[in-house]
């Protein structure tokens, strides 16, 4: 083999690491990393959910709710009667436009309640908050996402962390709670459900462990499989925690909350970060990929999965001080 051929072979080998059935071992850097940049300033942004029918996104920030117009960056108060009763990470979810299954209410926001008894509250546009569901599992309630693929019956999924394990529950539109598993690995953050295009993990709940950097898939039957090891820095307040799926086609912008967190190694910016599809694709991401970002510095992987294997690639970084939280939202 010639010297040029050897170098070309080496480049191909290190570009992507993938294995059968166990997920990607670790992400490798792309030739040119994309960069998350500041989009709009908000006081202590924690999470984004949407889009709503009018194209706006709900932003949870400083214990209150706002609407973000992604075209203009305009932020307006929403549901003024609501204020989180406390807790560091009251993440939010809204049903997709055209959500199938029984109705959760097109303009209703669902938020984790971390104080005064854990549970999920449903918040009307006026800000009326009612206790919607109360999972019985002990521990920290720390993840929320709607199933829009259907394998969980189009229900609302919630994770509850206790020590090294997490309980996953599915909640129907009447607040009925069913336990999916009590034995998932420790996970938290911006959990999401994989679309039908995500290979062997289609329709599974995707969630990450920031301490190990592992990304897991949890099936409707409660089985857990490793999707990928991110290969990014990991540990408390450092590792992968935010997830979102790229559209299968078309242009888009990814949004991510970057919360001010004084005293942390990554103290945050008090902004919503954004990243274009053009920059992501130039860095090696592909349509339909899973995007995962670290809580420390918004270091980002794109994960592709087929019928038998997964591959992960490091595609983007954020500002070094960034402290992302919650879900990665996609603006079409």
Query: Above 70 in pLDDT, residue 117?
Result: yes
Do the Cβ atoms of 193 and 157 come closer than 8 Å?
yes
Confidence of residue 28 (pLDDT cuts 50, 70, 90): low
**The predicted structure's pLDDT at residue 3:** 37
CA–CA gap between residue 52 and residue 44 (Å, rounded):
22
> Which candidate, 156, 157, 148, places its Cα nearest to that of 173?
156
98 or 20: which leads in pLDDT: 98
Residues in the chain: 332
Q: Please state whether the predicted TM-score (pTM) of the whole model is above 0.75.
A: yes
For residue 153, what is the DSSP state?
-
Q: Which two tokens stand for residue 177?
A: 């709670």
Return the percentage of the chain with pLDDT > 90, whole number: 88
Query: Above 50 in pLDDT, residue 8?
Result: no
CA–CA gap between residue 285 and residue 293 (Å, rounded):
13
End-to-end CA distance of the chain: 46
Q: What is the pLDDT of residues 201-256, one digit of tens each?
A: 999 999 999 999 999 999 999 999 999 999 999 999 999 999 999 999 999 999 99
Query: Above 90 in pLDDT, residue 18?
Result: no
**The predicted structure's pLDDT at residue 106:** 87
Mean pLDDT of the chain: 92
- Distance between alpha carbon 60 and the CA centroid of its chain, in Å? 14
CA–CA gap between residue 228 and residue 289 (Å, rounded):
13
CA–CA gap between residue 290 and residue 280 (Å, rounded):
12
Do the Cβ atoms of 160 and 178 come closer than 8 Å?
no
Helix (H) or strand (E) holding 205: strand 205-209
Return the percentage of the chain with pLDDT > 70, whole number: 91
Question: String of b and e for 77-109 (b: at least 16 CB within 10 Å)?
Answer: ebbeebebeebebbbbbbbbeebebeebeeebb
Query: Above 60 in pLDDT, residue 175?
Result: yes
> 229: buried, middle or exposed (CB in 10 Å: 19+, 13-18, 0-12)?
buried
**The predicted structure's pLDDT at residue 30:** 59
Lowest mean pLDDT among 7-21, 83-97, 141-155, 197-211: 7-21
Mean pLDDT computed over 102-116:
95
Show the domains of the chain with their CATH numbers: 24-331 (2.120.10.30)
Mean pLDDT computed over 54-73:
97
Q: What is the pLDDT of residues 267-326, one digit of tens each?
A: 999 999 999 999 999 999 999 999 999 999 999 999 999 898 999 999 999 999 999 999
Query: Above 70 in pLDDT, residue 20?
Result: no
Angle (nearest 5°) at CA 263 between 258 and 265:
65
Do the Cβ atoms of 23 and 225 come closer than 8 Å?
yes
**The predicted structure's pLDDT at residue 27:** 61
Query: Above 60 in pLDDT, residue 50?
Result: yes
CA–CA gap between residue 96 and residue 115 (Å, rounded):
27
> Which candidate, 176, 178, 180, 177, places its Cα nearest to that of 168?
180
């Amino acid at each position: 083999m010639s010297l040029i051929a050897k170098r070309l072979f080496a480049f191909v080998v290190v570009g992507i690491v993938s294995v059968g059935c166990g997920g990607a071992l670790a992400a490798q850097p792309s030739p040119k990393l994309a960069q998350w940049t500041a989009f709009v300033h908000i006081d202590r942004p924690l999470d984004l959910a949407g889009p709503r029918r009018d194209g706006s996104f709900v932003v949870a920030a400083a214990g209150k709710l706002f609407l973000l117009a992604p075209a203009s960056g305009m932020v307006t108060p929403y549901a003024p009667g609501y204020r989180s009763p406390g807790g560091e990470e009251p993440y939010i979810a809204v049903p997709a436009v055209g959500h199938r299954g029984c109705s959760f209410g097109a303009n209703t926001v669902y938020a984790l309640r971390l104080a005064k008894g854990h549970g999920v509250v449903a918040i009307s546009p006026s800000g009326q908050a009612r206790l919607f569901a109360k999972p019985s599992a002990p521990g920290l309630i720390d993840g929320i996402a709607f199933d829009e693929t259907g394998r969980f019956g189009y229900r609302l999924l919630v994770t509850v962390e206790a020590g090294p394990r997490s309980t996953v529950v599915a909640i129907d539109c009447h607040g009925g709670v069913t336990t999916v598993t009590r034995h998932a690995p420790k996970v938290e953050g911006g959990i999401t459900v994989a679309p039908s295009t995500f290979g062997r993990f289609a329709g599974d709940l995707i969630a990450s462990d920031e301490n190990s950097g592992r990304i897991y898939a949890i099936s409707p039957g409660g089985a857990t499989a490793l999707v990928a090891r991110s290969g990014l820095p990991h540990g408390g307040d450092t590792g992968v925690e935010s997830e979102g799926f790229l559209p299968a086609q078309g242009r888009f912008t990814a949004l991510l909350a970057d919360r001010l967190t004084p005293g942390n190694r990554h103290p945050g910016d008090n902004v919503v970060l954004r990243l274009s599809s053009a920059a992501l694709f130039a860095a090696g991401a592909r349509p339909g990929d899973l995007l995962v970002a670290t809580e420390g510095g918004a270091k980002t992987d794109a994960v592709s999965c087929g019928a038998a294997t997964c591959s992960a690639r490091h595609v983007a970084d954020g500002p070094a001080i960034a402290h992302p939280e919650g879900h990665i939202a996609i603006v079409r």
